[in-house]
């Protein structure tokens, strides 16, 4: 899960100006279509954990689908092979393996047909993408630096007294309210207020896909976690939530460990992201068996 870090105005005013660089060769940019599917998936498979969301979107929806809430673009090098792939739209996800590819994808994002809500990539790629996209003239509304946590076998199996279940439609409202709370902490926007109908539709779709897992106590939601993306190799979890009255008891780490044990029966790796300032959450993830392997940056427009 993520939380927000408000930008420091003084820090932004002192931000150094970008050094001018030549414009990329935009003739190598292309809109990706279904005929590119195999090539794109092969490109993304080189770093399966870092590209799990884009790969999952393609597997779930295809490269061209309104459910992606954006457009997939590719940048080809002089040899014709892909050097960068990005989903440019509501959630802009970037995997670029050359500076020119990153710049070309960022220039393309200047004219995105879907308004950009966030930009996300590993390392400092999102920040460099943002600077090229805006010409260094506009700071993001929020910047989140996040630790990447992963779990795979072997890990110490914990005892579990809580029953992990797949959420059903009857839990739509409690699950959506929990997810909205996580989203508000993450970016300062409550999706239940901003677009209730659309948000409930997206949560209902995820429930229908069997990707929301819960622990309940009678009619109360205790724990929740969502599969945001899944490939043959990796599952990306998000929206990890423990109801306030159940916090501080180790329930979150116990439930996450049990869920991870179950999910590792179908993939070799599970990952999640957590804001660098969420030290207590990090301890919970580590108690569940996760280890910190990398960091990512998410910029909110």
Predicted confidence at residue 3, as pLDDT, reads 32
Residue 61's domain comprises: 18-135
| Angle between helix 279-288 and helix 251-263 axes, rounded to 10 deg | 50
Q: What is the mean pLDDT of residues 156-170?
A: 87
The edge-to-edge listing of strands for the beta sheet with 142-151 is 29-31, 70-76, 82-89, 91-96, 118-122, 291-300, 142-151, 269-275, 234-242, 220-230, 212-217, 165-166
Residues 162, 131 share a domain: no
pLDDT over 60 at 6, yes or no = no
- What whole-number distance in Å separates Cα of residue 195 and Cα of residue 218? 29
User: Is 279 a member of any domain?
Assistant: yes
First to last CA, the chain: 19
- Domain end residue (candidates: 69, 101, 135): 135
User: Is 141 a member of any domain?
Assistant: no
- Domain end residue (candidates: 135, 163, 192): 135
Percent of the chain at pLDDT > 90 equals: 84
Predicted confidence at residue 18, as pLDDT, reads 52
- What whole-number distance in Å separates Cα of residue 257 and Cα of residue 175? 20
**What CATH number does the domain containing 253 carry?**
3.40.630.30
Residues 188, 81 share a domain: no
Q: What is the mean pLDDT of residues 268-291?
A: 93
Predicted confidence at residue 19, as pLDDT, reads 59
**What value does the mean pLDDT of the chain take?**
91
Residues 162, 49 share a domain: no
Q: What is the mean pLDDT of residues 36-49?
A: 97
CA 71 to chain centre: 17
**What CATH number does the domain containing 69 carry?**
3.40.630
Residues 121, 171 share a domain: no
Task: Render pLDDT for 186-244 as a digit per residue (tens, 0 to 9).
Answer: 888 999 999 999 999 999 999 999 999 999 999 999 999 999 999 999 999 999 999 99
Residues 207, 129 share a domain: no
Q: What is the pTM of this model?
A: 0.85
Residues 179, 49 share a domain: no
């Amino acid at each position: 899960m993520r939380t927000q870090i408000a930008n420091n105005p003084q820090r932004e005013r002192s931000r150094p100006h970008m050094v001018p660089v030549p414009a990329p060769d935009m003739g190598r940019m292309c809109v990706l279509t279904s005929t590119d599917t195999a090539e794109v998936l092969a490109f993304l498979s080189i770093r399966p954990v870092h590209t799990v969301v884009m790969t999952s979107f393609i597997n779930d929806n295809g490269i061209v689908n309104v459910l992606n809430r954006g457009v997939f673009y590719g940048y080809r090098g002089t040899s014709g092979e892909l050097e960068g792939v990005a989903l440019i739209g509501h959630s802009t996800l970037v995997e670029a393996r050359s500076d020119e590819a990153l710049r070309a994808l960022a220039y393309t994002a200047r004219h995105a047909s879907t308004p950009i809500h966030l930009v996300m990539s590993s390392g400092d790629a999102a920040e460099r993408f943002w600077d090229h996209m805006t010409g260094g003239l506009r700071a993001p509304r929020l910047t989140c630096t996040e630790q990447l946590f992963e779990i795979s076998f072997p890990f110490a199996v914990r005892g579990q007294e809580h029953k992990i279940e797949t959420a059903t439609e009857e839990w739509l409202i409690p699950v959506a309210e929990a997810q909205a709370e996580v989203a508000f902490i993450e970016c300062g926007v409550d999706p239940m207020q901003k677009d209730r109908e659309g948000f409930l539709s997206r949560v209902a779709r995820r429930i229908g896909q069997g990707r929301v897992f819960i622990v309940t106590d009678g009619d109360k939601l205790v724990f929740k976690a969502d599969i945001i993306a899944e490939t043959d190799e990796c599952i990306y979890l998000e929206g990890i939530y423990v109801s306030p009255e159940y916090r501080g008891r180790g329930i979150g780490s116990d439930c996450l460990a049990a869920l991870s044990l179950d999910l590792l029966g179908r993939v070799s790796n599970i990952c999640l992201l957590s804001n660098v300032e969420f030290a207590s959450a990090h301890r919970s993830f580590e108690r569940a068996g996760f280890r910190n392997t990398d960091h990512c940056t998410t910029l909110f427009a």
